[in-house]
Structure 1
Amino acid sequence: MRTSQAFLQKFDTEVNKDWSFAESRSVEHLTHGYHRYPAKFVPQLVKKLIETYTQKGDKIVDVFAGCGTTLVESKVHGRTSEGVDINPVAELITRAKITAIEPKKLQKRYERIQSAIQGYEPFRVAAPEKHPRIDYWFREEEKDKIAFLYHIILPIRDEHLRDFFLCALSNILKNCSRWLQSSTKPQIDPIKVIREPFAAFEFQVKRMLKKNGQFYEELSNNKALNVKCKIRLADARRTKIRANSANAIITSPPYVTSYEYADIHQLTGYWFDYIADITSFRKDFIGTFYSNNKETETIVPIAQEIVQRLIAIDKKSAGEVANYFNDMFAVATEMRRILKPGGVVCMVVGNTTMKGVKITSAEAFAQMLSMQGLKIENVIKREIPFKLIPTIRDKKTGKFTTLDSKNKKLVYPEEFIIVARKKV
């Protein structure tokens, strides 16, 4: 399959200001602000996609559910939804975010937790032996208090209540650790002013209580409290979602460097016993640098051109990128299987660079969908003024860096929305 000039010209388009949401700075609306998460979908973008390409009663799927933005917005709009993610931390966050709990019931449980916290006595509670990396990231005082919170939340029988408070605890771990606060890269800040866990937990829960109340009221007003919405821990390449069941797939795939998602969530992973070995955990992610893949072949022409340019510079990187695109082709195959005839894929993706080579992921993904028999209906270019993603990389290493670096280079300033439809 050759890549036609007409196909590539779809991406040579002006930025569409209607899709940039430059005035919509907040990603905190409703439950969207429960937990920090890299590369968050702008809720306004998902809302516009839902309103443009779906109807009430449709089923929406997100095969890279992340922290659940698509699922929350689907529920608000009265669409049933199903999402999968390979990251157990993402699954926890999403479970909490998609569940509106009756506010009085939630407040009553929180008062019981507050009472337990008031009975905490230092030196009578010791953190259990967990992964050695917890000792690396946490001082003893904070570690004991976090362990105390974890062990008063874990026995809660109501899974929705338990998920709510575990999500709150998860989001304060970075603040209460030695992790450099402003960095998504794991590194210690030797002069950090570390938050006291009980105060941080109280602040976090109060914020979430308010947002849950807003979510509950919104769903009640929309008569959407009982709209089906579920998240499962699963691989986007093998979702087990029923064939021909989705009216729309709204998703944003990981970038080539998605191993960073695994690293960013390691604190929760270790505390909640989701992971035992970070290296093994990384290997499950699409786009990982930790794959043992040696192949440099892919059946997607645009992807293969990228790989060939990388081979001349760094064969290992070329193999990693080939592996990434082969994995994403498997995802495209899975998305076609899930979609109903006439169903639509809305894929939000940005291009980047590696080793000085432009990685035109958007064009490659569109070609994958075309190879699956889907028709590319539209390509929209939008600015990403407030998307929560690191935007500065070192030109030589490709790793995230800082503004004062001599080798700094902006990445992901724009992204594309690819709209493709499965033939009837």
Structure 2
Amino acid sequence: MSITFPFENIPVSEEWVFKNVKSTQQWTHGYHRYPAKFLPNLVKKIIEDYTDQGDTIADLFAGCGTTLVESKIHGRKSVGVDINPVAQLITDVKTNPIRENLLISKYKIILAEIESFRPEDFQQIEKHDRIDYWFYPNEKYKIAFLYQIITELQTTKKVKNFFLVALSNILKNCSKWLQSSTKPQVDPDKVPTDVFKTFNKQVKSMLKKNQLFFEALEDLKFTNIESKLVLEDARKTSIKSATINAIITSPPYVTSYEYADLHQLTGYWFDYLNNLREFRKNFIGTFYSYGESLDSHSAIAQRAINDLKDKNLRTAREVANYFSDMHDVANEMYRILKDGGKSFVVIGNTTFKDVKIQSAEIFAELLDLSGFEIEDVIKRSIPHKLIPTIRDKKTGKFTTINNKNSKQIYPEEYIIIAKKENGNH
């Protein structure tokens, strides 16, 4: 089809809106908070409408594994790619449910150990300096204690990781991090929740979800369906050429999040990172990337970059970096897909410093340049507040509706369906 520009003229498709659907609580989806989480029902519908059993599905921005969980429960093999070790940990646990009796026996050991906790045993603990920035001593000692117990458990890595995910998800509640903020911000008035009680509640919730997922996979005989997340760059993966039937992915939003910053609590506690600035450089489309160029393969992106250049050079470079990275990602998608395979890219447009950035149209253009045939573009409104939707017009930072400079962004998003016609590109 020829692409209709701009995409905002496309009518909203109600069957893709999923009003009043709490699919994030199904299966293991709710194990861990994650910014801009992919809506499971969206992935579910794509899998059911466009793929067949026996297909292999890939997600090059796998995040906390929504595509992989849905692929497994639908009997599709899947491979995810993400640069973030926290994403890998969460996804491994979410896609591999464990026999309940094994988890409960190890959980009883942890509970028994908690009885013997003595804060003075952990006062000399050596951890990254930023741990003291984010945590009061009382919570710090208890978290250190839990981390030690879990990592020293006599059990498999899979079981240890289950409890590490539970610990990871409570870190924000037990820290000084402003609870209502996705971005790193200290709340001087916050009273952190009790570490042991919060951990206990989190584990109990995960045990229930684990069991439901385990039983469902057993009933369907999908327990051994392959599902893995590799710690790699979406621009250059180890996935073999022409081996994937469908790609279902939602790229990070341009100028939206510093994912590295958002997972720093787990990063520091679990020794995934030492230097945040260096860690950031691995992430796509960040102003910490090396690129200085203001050129883009996309004509639509180029117009936005030129408009931004006059307002803020650093932001213009950041946007140019992002779309340069996305051009490489589009080429990688084309390489790994089988002939006739389809790519489903879920993405929204935004405005930054009063410049409209048509990310969806730009990505469609990049897919077209990579050799894809754009088959369809579906527009959906976002009913749930899964991502911050309000930005300050002056600073460009996320804010609240009470801010007089505020304006809403990403109230809608698009599903770009692109087909690889043949391998002659």
Structure 1 equivalent of residue 397 of structure 2: 399
Q: 1:166 to 1:295 in 2, by over 3 A?
A: same
Other structure's SS at 1:124 match: helix
Q: 304, 307, 310: which is aligned to 1:309?
A: 307
Partner Cα separation in structure 2 for residue 127 and residue 421 of structure 1: 58
Q: Could you list the runs of 5+ residues in structure 2 that have no partner in the other structure?
A: none
Structure 2 equivalent of residue 334 of structure 1: 332
- CA shift, 1:263, in A, is 1.2
Q: 165, 168, 192: which is aligned to 2:166?
A: 168
Residue identity over aligned pairs, in percent, reads: 57
1:165-208 Cα offsets, whole Å, 9 max, x none, are: 00000000000001110101211111112111111100000000
1:105-153 Cα offsets, whole Å, 9 max, x none, are: 1111111111111121232333621111100110111100000000111
Structure 2 equivalent of residue 185 of structure 1: 183
Equivalent AA in structure 2 for residue 44 of structure 1: N
Please give the TM-score of this superposition, normalised by the length of structure 1.
0.97
Contact 1:31 1:215 in 2 (8 A): yes
Structure 2 equivalent of residue 113 of structure 1: 110
Partner Cα separation in structure 1 for residue 178 and residue 294 of structure 2: 36
Other structure's SS at 1:215 match: helix
What are the equivalent positions in structure 2 for 1:107-146 lying under 5 Å apart? Answer: 107-126=104-123, 128-146=125-143
Q: 349, 363, 366: which is aligned to 1:365?
A: 363
Q: 200, 203, 207: which is aligned to 1:202?
A: 200
What are the equivalent positions in structure 2 for 1:14-413 lying under 5 Å apart? Answer: 14-126=11-123, 128-156=125-153, 157-413=155-411
1:188-245 Cα offsets, whole Å, 9 max, x none, are: 1111121111111000000000000110011111110000000111110011111111
Other structure's SS at 1:419 match: strand
- CA shift, 1:316, in A, is 2.1
Q: 1:233 to 1:387 in 2, by over 3 A?
A: farther
Other structure's SS at 2:62 match: coil
Partner Cα separation in structure 1 for residue 123 and residue 142 of structure 2: 8
Contact 2:139 2:174 in 1 (8 A): yes
Please give the TM-score of this superposition, normalised by the length of structure 2.
0.96
Equivalent AA in structure 1 for residue 400 of structure 2: T
Runs of 4+ in 1 over 6 A off after TM superposition: none
Contact 1:80 1:227 in 2 (8 A): yes
When the two structures are aligned, how many residues end up with a matched partner?
A: 421
Equivalent AA in structure 2 for residue 312 of structure 1: D
Q: Could you list the runs of 5+ residues in structure 1 that have no partner in the other structure?
A: none
Partner Cα separation in structure 2 for residue 113 and residue 9 of structure 1: 56
Partner Cα separation in structure 1 for residue 12 and residue 346 of structure 2: 14
